[in-house]
Amino acid sequence: MTEASVRYRDFYRGRRVMVTGGLGFIGSSLAHHLVDLGADVLLVDGMIPDYGGNLFNIADIEGRVRVNISDVRNDAAMAVLVRDRELIFNLAGQVSHIDSMRDPYTDLDINCRAQLSMLEACRRHNPAVRVVFAGTRQVYGRPERLPVDERHLVRPMDVNGVNKAAGEYYHLLYSNVFGVRACSLRLTNVYGPRQLIKHNRQGFIGWFIRLAIEGAEIQVYGDGTQMRDFVFVDDAADAFLRAGACSGCDGEVFNVGGLEPISHRDLVAMLIEVAGSGSMRYVPWPPEKQRIDIGSFYSDSSKFTGTTGWRPAVTLREGLGRTVAFYRANMPHYLEAA
């Protein structure tokens, strides 16, 4: 462990931290790291059905965190909750691309208006706070070149991408104009333990993992040659920790991508091998999904590496193995209603 990595981990000892979306996939994983580092952790989550909030995600640390069940759209609650926090990891959001196309107004409300409301609460009641926003590679749309770096045009192909881009720009505006220090991490496909697997509307990787564990058929659209990069959730959490401790991130956007791209068909073949179960079949693209598909995508994360020293540490095969083992041990907690 380098001296720089020790410093950023030491930064959180006794630090008053809030995580919105704290009972969800990445938020709860981040919470585990924060409590291990000695932070004072407040988790805020609206527990909206089908969004991924799950109390089992913090079952082993529930005595070491505080939980406030509150929707980020609740202006009065946010005004109170942000007051004494030194750092906010803002992970609350609607992340389903399909849902955003079916119900664009809810996506707008959560990913735009609620973000603006929280930033206003910070500006009015805690302007010295630092905010790290969970952005998405979806803002780029269909890439013009690969790998995609932060200079690539922002041109989303679905409602979720448009609203996430707006939410990100609010954070940058409040950082650059109002002094509420903020940055955005444009995450690629994050996977791992505690991910929502009850349905397939929040990305395909969690759903594929469930199907493999259940010995079911995994349907791959088209010929399966599309490329993606994947980030294990502990590596994503480490990215948030580094960004939160680094003043050089303020007012900036960063890609957070995987070690190397892999095609869908090779990913599924690896997953079936790791799980020892499941099968694969190629099927035609559903029209509603093909219309908003971005094709092959993988990120260039060198800007973030250069700024913070972050690099993904978990290989895809190792991460899939750890994820499969987790769900085999805990599957009932992720299939029942959250």
Domains within the chain, CATH numbers bracketed: 3-335 (3.40.50.720)
**Torsion angle of the four alpha carbons 170, 306, 190, 106, in this order, in degrees rounded to the nearest 10:** 0
> CA 35, CA 31: separation in Å to the nearest integer?
6
Residue 140 DSSP class: G
pLDDT in tens, 170-217: 999 999 999 999 999 999 999 999 999 988 776 789 999 999 999 999
What is the rounded CA–CA span in Å between residue 320 and residue 48?
Answer: 27
- Residue 191 has φ and ψ, to the nearest 5°, of -140, 165
Measured CA to CA, the distance from residue 31 to residue 26 in angstroms comes to: 9
pLDDT in tens, the chain (338 residues): 444 555 898 999 999 999 999 999 999 999 999 999 999 999 999 888 777 789 999 999 999 999 999 988 888 999 999 999 999 999 988 877 778 888 999 999 889 999 999 999 999 999 999 999 999 999 999 999 999 999 999 999 989 999 999 999 999 999 999 999 999 999 999 999 999 998 877 678 999 999 999 999 999 999 999 999 999 999 999 999 999 999 999 999 999 999 999 999 999 999 999 999 999 999 998 888 788 788 899 999 999 999 999 999 999 999 999 999 999 999 999 987 54
Q: State the pTM of this model.
A: 0.95
Calpha distance 245→243 (Å, rounded): 5
Determine the Cα–Cα distance for residues 29 and 41; give it in Å rounded to an integer.
12
Count the residues in the chain: 338
Identify whether the C-beta of residue 80 lies closer than 8 Å to the C-beta of residue 56. Answer: no
